[in-house]
Amino acid sequence: MRSSRPGFTLIELLIVIAIIAVLIGILLPALAGGREQGRMVQCLSNQRQIGFAQQAYADDFDEYILREAGGFRCVRDDRYSMPWAFGYRPYMDGQKTWEVIENDWFEDAAYYRDPARPDRDGHQIHYVNNGMGFVRNQSGTVVYRSFKPMIKRYALQFPANVYYLTGYTEDLSGNYYRIVYEPNATNWEVAIFYDARQVQHVRLNNPAIRIEPKRHGNGANVLFMDGHATLVRFEKLTDETNWIDLDFRYQLPPSSPGDPGRCPRGS
């Protein structure tokens, strides 16, 4: 005689489906968190590579660390006031000359892109550096004054505490993209845009904010002046006092002589 085995009842099937749904609900956030963690780690790796290039550039060029370039001189052969993304690129690419790198608008510079930043506004550089200059007024208070050019490494009193570079916010309207990536723009001219040169660029809820303080949850990766990088909470990242390098000797007015023909679009 054949033995008949009863099948699953409808209730049993519903229970199994419910269990599977619960497991999926538990696993999906974990998988998403894992992907976000991976993007954060890759971003941090990119910043550390930039930190190595920053220090190597200083070794080669009289201790100078690149800062804001557009507000001062825009002379292509001035190795001491060039934009950071342009100046450091040969060290990132394993090359030792700027001339051999074509004007690709940094499309081939994947190390300048943050995998956690939405790729929908066309920008090929996803980081901005510290281009802010501060002075002491007559009462001794430290105040923002103007842009900050290159600075000697030994002039930094606490380089491990001062922010050098972090993520660039989204250009949702595309206005900056259209200004910066004009037809016939050179890599030099494109690179000049990517800095935070005014205190408004780092202030939370300011329309002119240029950084993204919550790129990775409640914070963002930050490269410091000494070349190390780590995750920093958004409250600290939007506190302009953490961007002050305490060096007031190299402060120059924005009207420093230069070649205006080489100056940037939209910096």
Q: Is residue 255 part of a domain?
A: yes
User: DSSP states of 43-101 as a string?
Assistant: HHHHHHHHHHHHHHHHHHTTTEE----TTS---TT-TTSS-HHHHHHHHHHT-S-STTS
Band of residue 74 on the pLDDT scale cut at 50, 70, 90: very low
Q: Is residue 3 part of a domain?
A: no
Q: Is residue 1 part of a domain?
A: no
pLDDT digits (tens, 9 = 90+) for 18-58: 878 887 777 667 555 567 888 899 999 999 999 999 999 99
pLDDT at residue 118 tops 50: yes
pTM above 0.85, yes or no: no
pLDDT at residue 246 tops 80: yes
Band of residue 253 on the pLDDT scale cut at 50, 70, 90: very low
- In which residue are the tokens 């608008």 written? 105
**Please, what sign has the CA dihedral across residues 235, 237, 240, 245?**
positive
Report the Cα 148 to chain-centroid distance in Å.
Answer: 17
Write out the residue range of the structural domain in which residue 247 sits.
Answer: 12-262
Q: Give the H or E element holding residue 140.
A: none
Q: Is residue 164 part of a domain?
A: yes
Mean pLDDT for the chain? 83
pLDDT digits (tens, 9 = 90+) for 122-167: 999 999 999 999 988 888 888 888 888 888 898 898 999 999 999 9
CA 28 to CA 190: how far, in whole Å?
39
**Residue type at 82 in one-letter notation:** M
Q: Is residue 4 part of a domain?
A: no
**Residue type at 107 in one-letter notation:** E
Q: Which residue has the higher pLDDT, 214 or 75?
A: 214
Q: Is residue 267 part of a domain?
A: no
Query: Virtual CA dihedral for 137, 139, 142, 145, nearest 10 degrees?
Result: -20
Worst-scoring range by mean pLDDT, 8-17, 69-78, 169-178, 183-192? 69-78
Q: Is residue 34 part of a domain?
A: yes
Q: Is residue 238 part of a domain?
A: yes
Number of domains in the chain: 1
Tokens of 71: 């507000």
pLDDT digits (tens, 9 = 90+) for 206-239: 999 999 999 999 999 999 999 999 999 999 999 9
